[in-house]
């Protein structure tokens, strides 16, 4: 046991637990690539998206989503994998793993300056061969459904359509939920369900349905399970008997509307990433 990195304590048997968590993400990729399932959700702890190549960080020991993407390339011969991270914090570890590669498009939609140890600004676009293939979308605190949908429709989904991934991996955090103590966003199950449907549609168009989600943040024990049910229902195409007590409030939360300052910021980011693609994508 001990401290593996900034904010990454581990217990005496933690290595084996973390290894199994990463292994579950690899097994999810294998199952999807073998056509045993179309979609898979690796429901594990510890999470992974803050773990960098040389250090653990932020509750994360191994970079589960990055390992999943690498497994798809190394084991299954894929040449284009997209990662779409909607955890409220910047997925610095995943981004660092592929910053100089173009066989992985790493997209992170996160609260701006939401994690003090890392940056995640829009000008961090990768380097060398990977220049332009890191897409960091920092949103101002207080964003709700309208801002997230706008960011997806103007930036995330066009980038995915242009990249044509053969597999999509989603580091799925719920800490952008409006009750979460570690974030300052306003999402609920309606938005998590919408984002899941949006990436599943891309997987249908370009990736033969192949979609893997890895479990990341989410620290409100009251709301995170309901948001998770919304995602898993959307992935499976089934509806459970579970009724989210927060869904009925969705339309009554003023912050879910797209605000002018949010729209202007997203439009600026859209122009920036369009220019980046024109300069760097082949």
Catalytic machinery residues: 50
| Residue 169 bridge partners (DSSP) | 83, 212
Q: Which residue has the tokens 């920036």?
A: 272
Helix (H), strand (E) at residue 70: helix 64-74
Counting beta carbons within 10 angstroms of the beta carbon of residue 171, is it exposed (0 to 12), middle (13 to 18) or buried (19 or more)?
buried
What contacts 38, CB < 8 A, 6 or more positions away? 32, 203, 209, 210, 211
| Strand stretches in 43-189, DSSP E | 81-85, 104-111, 134-139, 167-172
Report how far apart, in Å, the C-alpha atoms of 76 and of each of 62, 69, 72, 241 are.
21, 10, 5, 37
Count of CB atoms situated within 10 Å of the CB of 128: 9
Burial 86-117 (b: 16+ CB within 10 A, else e): bbbbbbbbbbbbbbebbbbbbbbbbbbebbee
Q: Is 182 helix (H, G, I), strand (E, B) or coil?
A: coil
Cα–Cα distance for residue pair 113/15, rounded to 1 Å:
30
């Amino acid at each position: 046991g001990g401290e593996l990195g900034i904010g990454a304590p581990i217990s005496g048997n933690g290595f084996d637990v973390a290894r199994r968590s990463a292994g579950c993400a690899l097994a999810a990729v294998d199952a999807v690539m073998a056509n045993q399932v179309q979609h898979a959700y690796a429901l594990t702890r510890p999470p992974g998206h803050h773990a960098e190549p040389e250090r653990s960080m932020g509750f994360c020991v191994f970079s589960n989503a990055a390992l999943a993407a690498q497994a798809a390339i190394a084991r299954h011969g894929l040449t284009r994998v997209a990662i779409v991270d909607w955890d409220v914090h910047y997925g610095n570890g995943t981004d660092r793993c592929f910053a100089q590669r173009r066989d992985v498009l790493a997209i992170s939609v996160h609260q701006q300056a939401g994690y003090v140890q890392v940056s995640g600004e829009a000008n961090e676009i990768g380097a060398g061969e990977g220049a332009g293939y890191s897409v960091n979308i920092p949103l101002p605190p207080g964003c709700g459904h309208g801002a997230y949908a706008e960011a997806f429709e103007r930036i995330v989904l066009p980038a995915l359509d242009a990249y044509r991934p053969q597999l999509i991996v989603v580091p799925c955090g719920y800490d952008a939920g409006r009750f979460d103590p570690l974030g300052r966003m306003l999402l609920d199950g309606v938005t998590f369900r919408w984002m899941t449907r949006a990436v599943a549609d891309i997987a249908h168009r370009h990736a033969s349905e192949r979609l893997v989600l890895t479990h990341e943040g989410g620290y409100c024990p009251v709301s995170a399970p309901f948001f998770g049910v919304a995602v898993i229902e959307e992935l499976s195409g089934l509806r459970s008997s579970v009724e989210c007590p927060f869904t009925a409030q969705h339309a009554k939360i003023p912050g879910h509307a797209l605000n002018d300052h949010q729209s202007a910021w997203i439009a600026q980011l859209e122009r920036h990433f369009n220019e980046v693609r024109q300069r760097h994508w082949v």
